Amino acid sequence: MSTKPPTYMLDHPEIRDSVTRLCEGFPGEYWRKNDREQDYPREFVDALTQAGFLSALIPEEFDGSGLPLSAGAAILEEVHRSGGNAGACHAQMYTMGTLLRHGSQSQKQQYLPAISCGELRLQAFGVTEPTSGTDTTALRTTARREGDHYVVNGQKIWTSRAQYSDLMILLCRTTPREQVEKKTDGLSVLLVDMREARGKTLTIRPIRTMMNHATTEIFFDDMRVPVDNLIGEEGRGFRYILSGMNTERILIASECIGDAKWFIEKATAYASERSVFGRPIGQNQGVQFPIARAYAQMRAAELVLREAIRLYDAGENPGEEANLAKMLAADASWASAEMCVQTYGGFGFAEEYDVERKFRETRLYQVAPISTNLILSYLGEHVLGLPRSY
């Protein structure tokens, strides 16, 4: 019986091949060790940076590769399909977009080439706060103008990779909510150089989580940020953050598709090899059908994702498709994870097979970077025109 995984018509085959080859240098043992110790996969992130994959979306004039989003999506999908996890570094691909789209020419000249070559890391994205949660405009971190600086006070939570980043894109309030007409006004984006402030006016505390994600909570105590580091116009930051959401949704959906493929390929191989009652377990339709169903679910999500990417790369604003792709891909990866554990039986729980690790990792996408409910709310209100609920 063939255990060869199905072949798909995929874009960027050369990029996919090189990512797969790079990932072969970081096998299951590497990820298991980091997972066990909740350690940051430095060597992997360095290798991706050196190979130029993390600067794929930065334009050539800033020393990146200037590739379309489809290339970034292919890179992240293959990392996940190979059994790895790009959560340690994926944010650079989308946070960089805030600087690229809304930053001044001098900010771009100053930071983007250094990010491209790996001299500076832009991995931290400070939006979520403990009290406001999903209700972003209720955030409480403030930046008060004092001469040529902003003075920042407040707290963020779930600021992933902050310990392994030099720069952070920070969303904070520059005008109190009571003084603005629309609650989305009065928020601003600062590009924070964390190197100076760390341990003084910026405190980073790691949060241990069910999977290895290097996430943290951070506290600002009169942290000074030069006014020159304001991205775009003061008070318009919420729009700038929103404008990057399609990119984020599409890239995360690609990781989910990569995870789903990994689970399906693992389960297919295992069900073909594992023999119980004198025959491969995959010969039983009770084992075979869940694998086929997970495959169907993954392919459907993948097709919607390809449509979202196609529209995005054609210069459109595919809010509906990007949201659909994120939700369907996250559902597909989670369904595949559940199927894979069941196919492996007891061995699905053993660390050495990586199934339980990937199972924990892929659970995140039902909650972050945006929860399934919030996507349904977007579809209900913005696509179907149902009454607003908040």
209 binds ligand FAD (CB under 6 A): yes
Q: Which is nearer to ligand FAD, 109 or 134 (CB)?
A: 134
Instruction: Give the separation between CA 328 and CA 71, rounded to whole angstroms.
Output: 20
204 binds ligand FAD (CB under 6 A): no
Q: Which is nearer to ligand FAD, 31 or 295 (CB)?
A: 31
Q: Which stretch binds ligand FAD (CB under 6 A): 35-43, 193-201, 351-359, 373-381?
A: 373-381
Q: Which is nearer to ligand FAD, 67 or 218 (CB)?
A: 218
Q: How far is the CB of 166 from ligand FAD (least distance, A)?
A: 15
151 binds ligand FAD (CB under 6 A): no
378 binds ligand FAD (CB under 6 A): no
Q: Which stretch binds ligand FAD (CB under 6 A): 120-128, 143-151, 233-241, 296-304?
A: 120-128
Kindly give, in sequence order, each residue whose CB lies less than 8 Å from that of residue 23, ignoring residues fewer than 6 positions away. Answer: 78, 79, 82, 83, 84
Q: Which is nearer to ligand FAD, 165 or 288 (CB)?
A: 165
374 binds ligand FAD (CB under 6 A): yes
Q: Which is nearer to ligand FAD, 355 or 364 (CB)?
A: 364
Which among 217, 191, 223, 220 is positioned nearest to 96, based on CA atoms? Answer: 191
CB 273 within 8 A of CB 347: no
Interacting positions 152-181 with ligand FAD (CB under 6 A)? 158-160
Chain mean position to CA 116 = 18
Burial class (CB in 10 A: 0-12, 13-18, 19+), 366: middle
User: What are the start-end ranges of the E strands in the chain?
Assistant: 122-126, 142-146, 149-157, 167-173, 187-193, 202-206, 216-226, 230-231, 275-276, 279-280
Helices and strands counted in the chain (H then E): 13, 10
Interacting positions 213-232 with ligand FAD (CB under 6 A)? 213, 215
Q: Which stretch binds ligand FAD (CB under 6 A): 4-12, 125-133, 188-196, 242-250?
A: 125-133
Residue type, 211: M
Q: How far is the CB of 211 from ligand FAD (least distance, A)?
A: 7
Interacting positions 76-115 with ligand FAD (CB under 6 A)? none
Q: What share of the chain is helix, strand, coil (3-state, %, to 5)?
A: 55, 15, 30
CA distance to 9, 76, 78, 112, 164, per residue, from 73 (Å): 15, 5, 9, 20, 23
Size of the site for ligand FAD (CB under 6 A): 23
* Residue selected from 133, 206, 226, 345 as contacting ligand FAD according to rule CB under 6 A: 133
364 binds ligand FAD (CB under 6 A): yes
**Parallel/antiparallel/unpaired status of strands 167-173 and 122-126:** parallel
* Residue selected from 236, 307, 371, 381 as contacting ligand FAD according to rule CB under 6 A: 371
CB 357 within 8 A of CB 340: no
Which among 372, 373, 265, 246 is positioned nearest to 316, based on CA atoms? Answer: 246
**Residues in the site for ligand FAD, rule: CB under 6 A?**
125-128, 133-134, 158-160, 209, 213, 215, 364, 367-371, 373-374, 377, 389-390
